[in-house]
A and B are shown apart, each in its own frame.
Chain A
């Protein structure tokens, strides 16, 4: 399934390209948003990153490799963008919108909302690692490839981030 969609995307099949982008665009966008802190800028970064990766899609044999490169480009582009913009890296927690859906089983669970708010209060690097690990389903090694950090550093950051979330939600232990 994974490699066949890549093969179809390489040949320029618009349906496969659409499916591939739709599947990963929100994670890529959230990674960009987490660093750039601006909705429009994050969308631009995501769009540019997709175009760069698709240009080189023939190099990727599977989706795992494709997404690792996609997130790496999003990460680097966002960092570069923030440096160029030369603004302070402040977490704008007030801009986080929590979608309300009365029919959703999850929205009933306030714990998820509290957890999401807590994730957004984490430091930038910790939050990015949480995003990539849980949402992007990337391994420690792959997160290392994306962020350029060492595996041991990522392990420490991930552990620290989980611990902070636990504390916020009054869990007993990690």
Chain B
């Protein structure tokens, strides 16, 4: 490194203002560790999302069974077994999406 570059570095190292608060680092460590603990004891999914997602799973299973064993009733409202399967798949997509929304931290970067 050239002498001038060294001088710039040394000038900065020597004269930049420093954080004068002694508790600055300690506060960050405490806050970080308490947040970490909070995440550790968080349920795997938000309760309301879990109830909604599972309800749709059961509704779709019910719908599929109804279509399979009581085709006449379903024909009136023009729904077939495939619609039930789509609802079933969507319920899982919803559960996965909510899980990602609650726990993925990528958006913070």
Binding site for B on A (CB under 8 A): 12, 14, 17-18, 21-22, 25-27, 29-30, 33, 39, 43, 46-47, 50-52, 54-56, 69, 73, 96-99, 104, 106-107, 111-113, 115-116, 119, 130-131, 134-135, 162, 165-166, 171, 174
Contact = CB atoms under 8 A, between A and B. Distances in A.
Nearest to A165: B8
Interface residues on B, range: 20 to 34
A112 B56 CA distance: 69
Contacts of B86: none
A77 to B, nearest CB: 11
Interface in B70-85: none
A69 B36 contact: no
Contact of A119 (B4, B12, B19): B12
Say whether chain A's binding surface is mostly helix, strand, loop, or mixed: helix
A113 B108 contact: no
A29 B11 contact: no
A26 to B, nearest CB: 5
Pick the most buried of B13, B29, B31: most chain A CB atoms within 10 A of its CB.
B29
20 contacts: A12-B33, A17-B28, A21-B29, A22-B25, A30-B16, A43-B21, A55-B32, A55-B35, A56-B108, A73-B109, A96-B17, A99-B14, A99-B15, A106-B14, A131-B12, A134-B9, A135-B13, A135-B16, A162-B4, A171-B4
Contacts of B5: 134
A113 B11 contact: yes
Interface in B3-45: 4-5, 7-19, 21, 24-29, 31-33, 35-36
Nearest to A59: B109
